[in-house]
Amino acid sequence: MQRGLVEEIAAEAEAALLQAEQQLIEAEEVHEFGALNTLLCMIVLALSFLLAYLIKKHRIIYLPESAAIILLGILVGLLASLFHPSKAELELLTFQPEVFYFGLLPPIIFNAGYTCRRKHFFQNIVAITLYESSSSAK
C-alpha cells in the first residue's frame, strides 16, 4: 500500500516537472520572439535615420524622406513575409489603424502645422476651418 502511494506521488511529481519544463520552454520562445522583433524594430529605425541622413546629405530632391521610409517599410515587410513567417510575426507586421491614428498621425499633423509658414496658413484658413469643424462635429 505504501509502495503504491510512493509511486503515485512520484508520478505526480514527474508530471508536474514535465509541465514546468514545458512552461519554461514556452516562456523562452515568447522571450526570443519579443527580443527578435525588438531587434528588427531597432534596425528599421536605424535604417530610417540613415536613409533620411543620406537623402539630406546628397540633396536628393526627387525622393522625399517619408517616401523613402515607406519604401523601406515595404521592403522589410516583404523580406519578413518571405523568411519563415509565423502567424504571430505576420500579426505583428500587419497594419493596425489604431496605432496609425493615435500614435503616428498626431505628430505628423503637429509637425505640418508647426513648420507651416504663416502666409500659407492664412491663405488656406477657410479650408483648414472647414476640415476642423467637420471633424469636430463627429
**Each residue of 84-127: pLDDT tens digit?**
677 777 777 777 889 888 888 888 888 887 888 888 888 988 88
Q: pTM for this structure? A: 0.59
pLDDT at 138 over 70: no
For residue 113, the number of C-alpha atoms closer than 13 Å in the C-beta half-sphere is: 9
- To the nearest 10 degrees (0 to 180), the angle between helices 2-57 and 65-82 is 150
As given in the structure block, the three cell numbers for residue 91 are: 500579426
Q: What is the C-alpha separation between 80 and 74, in angstroms, rounded?
A: 10
